[in-house]
Structure 1
Amino acid sequence: MKSCLPLLLVIFAAQLHAAEFVLVSKEVAPPPIIVFKDAPPRTREVANVLAGYINKISGQKPAVQEGEPSPLPERAIWIGFQPAIKPLFPNTDFEFKHPEEILITANEKHVVIAGRDRWDPTKLDIETREGVIKGKQQEYGTINAVYTFLQDQLGVRWFWPGELGEDVPKNERIVISTPLEHRHHPQIRSRGGVFNFSSLGNRGYGASHEWTMLQRLQLDSFAIEGGHGFADWWDKYHDKHPEIFALQPDGTRSGFPTPRTAKLCMSNPKVWELWLESVAEDLKSDPHLTIFNASPNDSWSSGHCVCANCSAWDHPDGESRVFNWFKHNEKRPATSDRDLTFANKLGELLKQKYPGKDYRVLMLSYGHSRPAPVKARPADNVIMSIVANFFGRAGLVDRGSTRGDTYRQQFEAWSGIVPAMLWRPNTGSPAGWQQGLPDIHIAQTVRDLKDVAAAHCEGIYIDGVWEHWATQGPLYYVMAQLVWNPGADADVILKDYYQRAFGPAADSVREYFEALERERMAFTAKNLEPEVFEFPKLYTADVLSAAQSRLDRAAAAAPADSIYARRVAFIQTGLTYTRMMVETITLMDRYWQKKDESIAAQVKANWQAIEKLTAVHPAAINWKAVRPITPRMAGLHPDSAKPKPKKKAKANDLDL
């Protein structure tokens, strides 16, 4: 008989090394939460958030104090780096070498939740076009570390905005397994634009600001613009500096096609000088900025400069594209090499003016610069924002391409030549995305996000996600989790989402969304850019009836009056809305063919019912985004103008 001694020694050794930090129990009061001295306001605030969640879980609330206590407590939760923790963790490296790096470490008596923080104490409140952003920082490592601790160590979940979407486990005893050391630095440093309407400081359609913060999206370190860089330049400069604007074929510098979309003479050094002045002005207002937009204005096919110097920056082998000017159009090479040469020049000047600063020039690959450049390559302080519209729209062809290139092909071409990039897709409404219908494409988006991350993506800006949580919520959740950590397992995330949110109803709710996703993917494979009046072809009576049967099974599985039953009812709100919206679309299609006051009355009654429905669960459908007065709902109310038929895309159409 063999001796068991070696096995017993292994088990004994494992027990010696496997210990616990008892954060709170019936017998053990919670340790104090100690915030580092002179912490910025948002960091002090998150310490109280942590204390509040410990109280929600255990019924005991830790005290929060700022600055190193004397004497040091025997047990503590330390928020942010402070000198007192180094002797407590002598083998831990507290030097944060990566932007936004977070660290969660624990031994048997102490927990440290810290990260790389950057802020200017004199510029914590920043004035923006939409109001004042308070407590602004360049990096929020410690705050995002706390949210990570809440999710990964304490098991808190935020499935959608509001109390109903929050899941807090109840346990009198909270234990952290030790030794623990978790480090992470997010590859995607510009994350606020994923849910742009709920990004920091945005006052638009968004209704999920707290949720995006808890998901570690809102407090990021790249504040990028999703749009264009020179929309106000015609008003500011056309009288004093007319020479900086694009030369037109007729010899004028007219600002065609409109003041907000006027193009520049990029090769003119005065443009470079004025751009640097605008950078200085922006930094005075907000010293946290590190990226400065130099992207040409919209109406991408119109008004580009034809002067000899700007034209020389175009590569003759670039894809032939159709350009428009006043009463004139012609084919010329794509502007990718031109725009990149311009950005590189500004990057060179930016580096000269601000040596040692990690400042970068932002340039869109958009419109006639969507094809990858032939020869030009971005300088080390130029970052490309690739407007490749394959979010939820596989196989879509760039309407400006004379070769028939898809957006995905263009993205892949750029990814092969740039060291880093941003992805900035427009979303459209392939299956009712904008109208709040269940336009979900989870599997495709998981693949796309992982592919984008593999292409060294540093930021994502999606225009736009309209925040309809009852119809598109599982997609939003997995997006948020993968943007923070693209290496995470999406299957594990989704299994956790359904099980934690819906308990015994999980299987039926998952079947509900996956069946709708299959129908949606089949529809969009055949209808790349459908009209809103085509959506009833997808959301047929049979499809909606089958969806209702699945939710009925979910409701039957969830115990009455339980949190699971309430969450199933939340999802039911989305299906009820979908049914009413599809009926409204069908009625309005008939109404525009032949106006009928009885149809108009029925549609108006539907809209009143929709408004009441969305008021019951405000997070279910974003009423601000779907009101009948919004552009997305054009033609879906009898008081609106009759919608114009959508033009078939042509090579010289504007990409609006």
Structure 2
Amino acid sequence: MKHPVIALLLAMTFSIPAGAQSIELIQNGTSRYVIYHEATAPRSVTRAATELQDYLHRSSGAKLPIVTRPAPKMISLADNAASRAAGFSASNIPWEGFRIVTKDSNVYLIGRDTADRQRTPNGGRASGTYNATCEFLERFVGVRWLIPGEHGDYVPKHTDLRIPETDVSDAPAMQNRRVPYTQERRPDVQQWWHRQRLGWSLYLNHSHNWRHTIPPSHFEQHPEWFPMRAGVRVPPTGRYKLCTTNAELVRAYADATIAFFDRSPSATCYSLSPSDSSGYCECEHCSALYEIDPHGKRSVTPAILTFYNDVAKLVAQKYPDKILAGYVYAEYLFPPKKTIKLEPNVFLVWAPSFDYGFTLARPELQQQWEQVLAQWTEVTHNLAYYDLPVNISTEAGALNPPGLEILKFLYPRLQAAEIKGVYVYGISAWGRAAPLNYLLAKLAWNPQADVEALFDEYCVKAYGAGGQEINRMFRGLDREVARHYREFPNASYTLTPDMMRDIYAKNLPQIERLYRSAEAKIQDTDAKARLAMIGDNLTVLHWNLRQHDLLDEPKRSSFFLSDAEFFAFLSSHQGSLALHPGTSSNAPSYVKTKQSVDVPPKSQQTEAVRPFRLRGDQHLILRPTTDAQMEVKFSRMATRGKLVTYSVYRPDGTAVTSGLMSDEVPLVLEADGAEYYHLVISAGTASFMIKTSGAAWAVDSTLSDQGLHLLGTATPLYFYVTEQTPAFHLSLEATPPGETAVATLYAPDGQTVTEFDCTKISVDRQKIKVATGQTGWWKLEIQKPAIGQIDDVWVKLAAPHSGYFSLDPAQAAAVR
């Protein structure tokens, strides 16, 4: 239910009484009205005035002057002397809320606003008058902000515009409303957010924060702060965990939080959230708090809530009014069996990871969702919501339907549970899912909105004469995706080969027919541009389906492009709102660091390269070995819906070329006299194999603190140790007990130096002393473990070594 004040305000909305006088705002394209705000009004109000003037002008041709003195006929913005003289004030309006009221031939748009550089008591900002202006434009002018940018607005034409006698009040159902992953760093998307009334009067920071607060450098002095596995404190790498029952660790976390508020006195929230993924402490004290969840798996919820409380108590001694936010998610998703009373300064963010993707199409998960939400509302009223419940994560152009039935299920229940905030993922490629992004924004403000009506209106206004076809296309995909999730129990939120085959390849002919039919009907320029954004993604989808050999006659499709044409298409669409944003065009800092690269004599303990897979982002150094071309071939690619891109740089960081990785088209480089080249690969979670000719090469294991990421299979790794290296650190990492690894390290003379074992602990890090005569190529051979299996494996060489491995001994490069 809404806040009582909001409910009271909404009750004030009423229909126009018989005989009520309307206001003739615009007649025959002219107006006698002005837009008034005080000279000292905050920027959000002056922005509202500018946009009101602009949209009225675009709609009618009348350009109302903006003035800072009241006038006999005016649209008055904000809580000001004129509105108060008319009997209206913002004093009883909730933050971000507004009232639109007519009186004596004037229109008053009155909002609850924060002044410039002022924050609400809960650390947010409020632009109630701007929200009122957006409501006015939508309600009375018919404006819709369909997508960000040049072609995003729908502005109907009005020669005459009458405003009926009106008294409308509204405020957001939730105090924190975000639709992330919509390219919101772009100015045009930020503007669209404002116009959709996204924002927050309650600021919440709930990001994974353990690594930032307790950095890895603490391990040397305080290993007991870090998780114990198999009786050993595990060195921190990647998304490491903490020993939450260690009193000194709790004190250190609280001290870091207090120090943050000391440095930033205006800040109101700090995150307690653990790092993502698994690996929780198994010491006696932590383990004693763990439970078994309803599905028979370990639940660490009691330990996490106890940690939240312990830190919160200490912070409250100095900052009792600050908010400490933390996820309840993954292994701490389910509430504790015994009630834990939370400290009043703790704010939970429920992230039901079991419903990611379209899994709420499964009735049993809807039931579980309702049960768990009800349980958390019994634990606390300080509860916000984090989810991606209608998302198919991919860069492969697969259209993302709006998930109408899921949205109708979710949002009214969130409001009934008095959830204070929503952080629900949108889609970054607007050509894949513009209707979904629009619905998520609308529902964040009003969870009771009519989802079906919103979607139908969107299709008509966004795609004009082709709206019926696009409506049918997205609704058909909605049904197909829901069916797939019910038939494939392992489907989650990432695009899979099964989804590509069963949803997209199967339905592509119908999608293409509907798209081309809509295209033939649309005459409006903006509607054509919005439709073309869908077409751009269908071009990407077709190419990806072709790569997976899922199309019988790919060349018969109107979306077919050859590889060369497709790469040129992607290059021309860099930075597009329509497609998934590509990698940054800026060179990473590490390619500007001068390296010493040579090709020492080959190792005496070489063997043939075995099939291997590198996984994720990579940084390679290529040193030409001939004056001819260098060639890099990519194979064994498993893209996981990712468009894997590469960029090549010279030693000074200047760009040479960039492109899309494909197992059909190799990267060919002409040697231009540079001593070596950087090859930077943006792969996300994709995996691949590399083979070069014309160049020696090595791959950087220091790109992440976990190291070089291998998947499933591995070939021996070689690295060169110089005479000046007295010792180095080498680590092997896996995720036991299921995913394990062992390895043997050999000195240049072939003698075994040490063994690494990750069958019980996740990280085996050792300091290796270099004896006299051990200059040269060392070899690390990752082997099949006795228990578990090799899957995700990380290997890292730390300082003073440069950290580079060679995987092909015949083309090994030494980087120093």
> How do 1:300-449 and structure 2 match up within 5 A?
300=278, 302-304=279-281, 306=283, 308=285, 314=289, 334-354=299-319, 357=321, 359-375=322-338, 376-389=340-353, 390-394=355-359, 410-426=372-388, 430=392, 433-440=394-401, 441-449=403-411
Residues 44 and 129, structure 2, Cα contact 8 Å, conserved in 1: no
Cα displacement string for residues 440-485 of structure 1 (whole angstroms, at most 9, x for unaligned residues): 12322332233333332222224x4332222212222111111111
Cα displacement string for residues 369-398 of structure 1 (whole angstroms, at most 9, x for unaligned residues): 11111221434432211121324331599x
* Distance verdict in 2 for CA 1:569–1:237, change over 3 Å: closer
* Residue 116 of structure 1 pairs with residue 74 of structure 2: no
The counterpart of 2:169, out of the listed 154, 168, 183, is 183
* Distance verdict in 2 for CA 1:550–1:479, change over 3 Å: same
* Distance verdict in 2 for CA 1:552–1:120, change over 3 Å: closer
Between Structure 1 and Structure 2, which shows a larger proportion of helix residues? 1
> How do 1:579-618 and structure 2 match up within 5 A?
579-586=542-549, 604-605=563-564, 607-611=566-570, 614=573, 618=576
Cα displacement string for residues 521-580 of structure 1 (whole angstroms, at most 9, x for unaligned residues): 22232231476333431345552111222223323443x455545544443334333323
Which one-letter code corresponds to 2:79 in the other structure?
F
Which one-letter code corresponds to 2:21 in the other structure?
A
Which one-letter code corresponds to 1:335 in the other structure?
V
What's the secondary structure of 2:197's corresponding residue?
coil
Report 1 or 2 for greater relative contact order, CA contacts < 8 Å, sequence distance ≥ 6.
1
The counterpart of 1:46, out of the listed 34, 45, 48, is 48
Residues 319 and 334, structure 1, Cα contact 8 Å, conserved in 2: no
Residues 611 and 623, structure 1, Cα contact 8 Å, conserved in 2: no
Cα displacement string for residues 156-214 of structure 1 (whole angstroms, at most 9, x for unaligned residues): 10111223221011112222111x2222221222223x224544xx47xx972222222
User: How many positions carry a matched residue from both structures?
Assistant: 579
Provide the residue aligned with 2:439 in structure 1. Answer: 478
CA distance in 1, matches of 2:232, 2:543: 53
Residues 30 and 61, structure 1, Cα contact 8 Å, conserved in 2: no
* Distance verdict in 2 for CA 1:233–1:478, change over 3 Å: closer
What's the secondary structure of 2:200's corresponding residue?
coil
> How do 1:628-647 and structure 2 match up within 5 A?
633=642, 637-638=662-663, 641-642=687-688
What's the secondary structure of 1:231's corresponding residue?
helix
Q: TM-score scaled to structure 1, two decimals?
A: 0.76
> How do 1:32-431 and structure 2 match up within 5 A?
32-66=34-68, 69=69, 72-88=70-86, 90=87, 92-119=88-115, 121=117, 138-178=125-165, 180-192=166-178, 194-199=179-184, 202=185, 208-217=189-198, 219-235=199-215, 238=218, 242=222, 245-246=225-226, 248=228, 254-256=234-236, 258=237, 261-266=240-245, 268=247, 271-272=250-251, 274-275=253-254, 277-279=256-258, 281-282=260-261, 284-285=263-264, 287=266, 289-300=267-278, 302-304=279-281, 306=283, 308=285, 314=289, 334-354=299-319, 357=321, 359-375=322-338, 376-389=340-353, 390-394=355-359, 410-426=372-388, 430=392
Provide the residue aligned with 2:517 in structure 1. Answer: 553
CA distance in 2, matches of 1:122, 1:343: 29
Provide the residue aligned with 1:619 in structure 2. Answer: 577
CA distance in 2, matches of 1:612, 1:448: 39
Moved more, 271-280 or 79-88: 271-280
Residues 182 and 430, structure 2, Cα contact 8 Å, conserved in 1: no
CA distance in 2, matches of 1:459, 1:341: 23
Which one-letter code corresponds to 1:484 in the other structure?
W
> How do 1:434-513 and structure 2 match up within 5 A?
434-440=395-401, 441-462=403-424, 464-513=425-474
Which one-letter code corresponds to 1:191 in the other structure?
R
CA distance in 1, matches of 2:581, 2:217: 40
Q: CA deviation at 1:272?
A: 4.2
CA distance in 2, matches of 1:538, 1:613: 31
Provide the residue aligned with 2:623 in structure 1. Answer: none
What's the secondary structure of 1:470's corresponding residue?
helix
Which one-letter code corresponds to 2:98 in the other structure?
I
What's the secondary structure of 1:580's corresponding residue?
helix
CA distance in 2, matches of 1:31, 1:646: 71
CA distance in 2, matches of 1:603, 1:222: 50
Q: CA deviation at 1:515?
A: 1.3
Residues 279 and 292, structure 1, Cα contact 8 Å, conserved in 2: no
Whose Rg is larger?
A: 2
* Distance verdict in 2 for CA 1:228–1:623, change over 3 Å: closer
Which one-letter code corresponds to 1:208 in the other structure?
V
Residues 22 and 28, structure 1, Cα contact 8 Å, conserved in 2: no
* Distance verdict in 2 for CA 1:184–1:284, change over 3 Å: farther
Q: CA deviation at 1:352?
A: 4.4
Which one-letter code corresponds to 1:624 in the other structure?
G
Residues 96 and 128, structure 2, Cα contact 8 Å, conserved in 1: yes
Structure 2 alignment gaps of length 5 or more = 1-15, 552-560, 586-615, 618-638, 645-660, 667-682, 690-709, 714-734, 740-761, 763-791, 793-816
What's the secondary structure of 1:364's corresponding residue?
strand
Which one-letter code corresponds to 2:458 in the other structure?
Y
Which one-letter code corresponds to 1:151 in the other structure?
E
Residues 45 and 130, structure 2, Cα contact 8 Å, conserved in 1: yes
Structure 1 alignment gaps of length 5 or more = 1-12, 125-135, 323-332, 398-402, 589-601
* Distance verdict in 2 for CA 1:517–1:251, change over 3 Å: closer
* Distance verdict in 2 for CA 1:624–1:573, change over 3 Å: same
> How well do the aligned residues superpose, as a CA RMSD in angstroms?
4.1
Moved more, 510-519 or 452-461: 452-461
What's the secondary structure of 1:384's corresponding residue?
strand
CA distance in 1, matches of 2:155, 2:208: 42
* Distance verdict in 2 for CA 1:305–1:113, change over 3 Å: farther
What's the secondary structure of 2:336's corresponding residue?
coil
CA distance in 2, matches of 1:409, 1:187: 22
What's the secondary structure of 1:261's corresponding residue?
coil
